Amino acid sequence: SYDLQVTPQSGYRHDTYHDKESGIKIPVIMAAASRETLMDLFFDLLEPLGHEVDLVLETSHDRRGGHDDLYREDIDMPVLKSMLCDFEDLLLDDGCTGLAVLNPNIPMEVQFDEHKLLILYGHELVDFEDILDDYGLECREDIKFITEAEHVHSSTEEFTRQFEQMK
């Protein structure tokens, strides 16, 4: 963030997502991890979703505010993980790329957002908490994330090209 209102740190906290249209409230875990463990943690958090998932690619490349969502359904988990490994640098370094992996049959969702936060949605979050604990992330309900401070998103032409290739 511009003035370091939020200092990056590893950890997680609980929250609730409120869908204004339906009035539904969904339990959420927001988590941050170091670059060294982020991809491995993300892959492990995908395990509770099952063997076949849907993918939403999120991009704010070439946009002034907001982002576009691109959907693909029924992806085998090993295929998805292989594809994501091919684009690890893009996922870790580009401030305009995010994704969400979900299983609408459970329903659960793991989001790897453009801020490099992990956001976990579902009514049963115990499996996610166990995985976060295995990685040594502490539950701290007062932890602050970069999304709660003024910040910028950065990208490059190369990352835009890579995103086009990934989609």
**Range from 4-13, 45-54, 143-152, 156-165 carrying the lowest mean pLDDT:** 143-152
Binned at pLDDT 50, 70 and 90, residue 1 comes out as very low
Q: Which pTM value belongs to this model?
A: 0.85
**Range from 2-16, 19-33, 97-111 carrying the lowest mean pLDDT:** 2-16
Q: How many CB atoms lie within 10 A of CB 126?
A: 9
Which residues are 14's β-sheet partners? Answer: 29
pLDDT digits (tens, 9 = 90+) for 102-121: 998 998 999 998 888 999 99
Overall size of the chain counted in residues: 167
Token readout for 34 is 């170091």
First to last CA, the chain: 29
* Mean pLDDT over the full length of the chain: 87
Token readout for 76 is 């085998």
